[in-house]
Amino acid sequence: MSNQIPKPRLGYYRALLSYADPDLERIIEAFTYWSSFVEYLVFRRENIHTFEKDYKMAKAAKRGNDVYSAKLRKRLNHLYNLPQIEFFDYKDRSRVHKTRAIFVTLTYRRDLRLDEAWEQIGSDFNRWKSAVTKAFGKVDIIRCWEAQADGYPHIHCVIVFRDSEFETFFYNGKWRISKKRELEKYWGWGFSDMFAMYSLGAGVGYVMKYVTKVNDSLLVEKRNHKDVLSLALLWIFRKRAFSVSKDFGLFLIEVKEDRPYGQVDLEGKSIYKWYLVGFWADLNGKYDSWGVKLSYNEFWRIRSSDYFTFNKALFSD
């Protein structure tokens, strides 16, 4: 009988969070264990003309590991190349300025259970966004979720208003907006804080700081407990770490060439087909690479391993 990898069951740990004073250290321990053991996707490549086969493995991107972090940074890279749009001179405190961009933090009261807050955070945020849009016109948003020290979620986001501007004033070290109460009344689940952004780049950078520090929390030498907890709870509740409005700018449009990647035949068609054979856990840390080319014998040894799981979709036809 094959040994099964003792993977944490998300439903079990999600249920633990429905109790008063849940054991958050147990949640972190389960997540860290899951993220730390390396899993590979095992592929078979076939030549459509000669039917020759070869085999490769690719390290799986798992929330918290180096592959996931690299993919995330690549996906976010375009946000750092936004045009330098300035709404006002933040050094000039002698007069009232106007801005189209604000940074918002939204929190939850503790009259909800921790698991309830995480389960409904997406729908609550969407309702708040809809109310704001109805009142002030179309908006573009970059947002991220993060856990507070007791595990309850809060939201950070930058909102760029297409149809509205807000007067600003400088108070207690930050630029504030005069219509804060008109915006915060739509968030009925807890406290909200808002301040004016003097430029688009500054606002985006502020949110990206939260996204990257959380997603890299297992990769740094000195781990921040709250960041690891955030990553663990995002994993437990299957939440995306961040979201960017599809209309945030033309920089989100990815242009691809209409030609196949890799070796092609005389008709311009790829000569290879790829098949995902299954998944293998490298529990002993034999391989230290994102990509591994396998010999036929290595492939069969891994395929016969107790820690190999077949891709059922490949054999469903």
pLDDT digits (tens, 9 = 90+) for 77-123: 777 777 778 889 999 988 889 999 999 999 999 999 999 999 999 99
> Residue 264: what pLDDT?
42
What pLDDT is stored for residue 315 in this prediction?
A: 60
Per-residue model confidence as pLDDT tens digits over 50-69? 888 999 999 999 998 999 98
For residues 166 and 102, give the distance between their C-alpha atoms in angstroms, rounded to a whole number. Answer: 9
**Given this model, what pLDDT does residue 175 score?**
93
Asked if pLDDT for residue 181 goes beyond 80, the answer is: yes
* Sign of the C-alpha dihedral computed for residues 153, 38, 36 and 223 taken in this order: negative
Q: What is the pLDDT of residue 85?
A: 82
Per-residue pLDDT at 262 exceeds 80: no
Indicate whether 203 pLDDT > 50: yes
Q: What percent of the chain has pLDDT over 70?
A: 89
CA distance 105 to 195: 9
Percent pLDDT > 90 in the chain is: 48
CB-based contact 53:44 (threshold 8 Å): yes
Better-scored residue on pLDDT, 269 or 29 = 29
Between 178 and 5, name the one with better pLDDT.
Answer: 178
Q: Phi/psi at 199 (nearest 5 deg)?
A: -150, 155
pLDDT tens digits, 157-178: 999 898 899 999 999 889 999 9
| Residue written as token pair 């005069």 | 178
Instruction: Write down the pLDDT at residue 58.
Output: 94
Instruction: Give pLDDT, residue 260.
Output: 43
SS3 per-residue string spanning the chain: CCCCCCCCCHHHHHHHCCCCCCCHHHHHHHHHHHHHCEEEEEEEEEECCCCCEEEEEEECCCCCCHHHHHHHHHHHHHHHHCCCCECCCCCCCCCCEEECEEEEEECCCCCCCHHHHHHHHHHHHHHHHHHHHHHHCCEEEEEEEEECCCCCEEEEEEEEECCCCEEEEEECCEEEECCHHHHHCCCCCCCEEEEECCEHHHHHHHHHHHHHHHHCCCCCCCCCHHHHHHHHHHHHCCCCCEEECCCCCHHHCCCCCCCCCCCECCCCCECEEEEEEEEEEECCCCCCCCEEEECHHHHHHHHCCCCEEECHHHHCC
- Name the phi and psi angles at 250, rounded to 5: -65, -15
Using only C-alpha atoms, the chain has a radius of gyration, in whole angstroms, of 24
- Cβ 228 vs Cβ 164: under 8 Å: no
The whole-angstrom separation of Cα 313 and Cα 310 is 9
Mean pLDDT of the chain: 85
Q: Is the pLDDT of residue 253 over 60?
A: no
The pTM of this model reads 0.81
Cβ 101 vs Cβ 142: under 8 Å: no
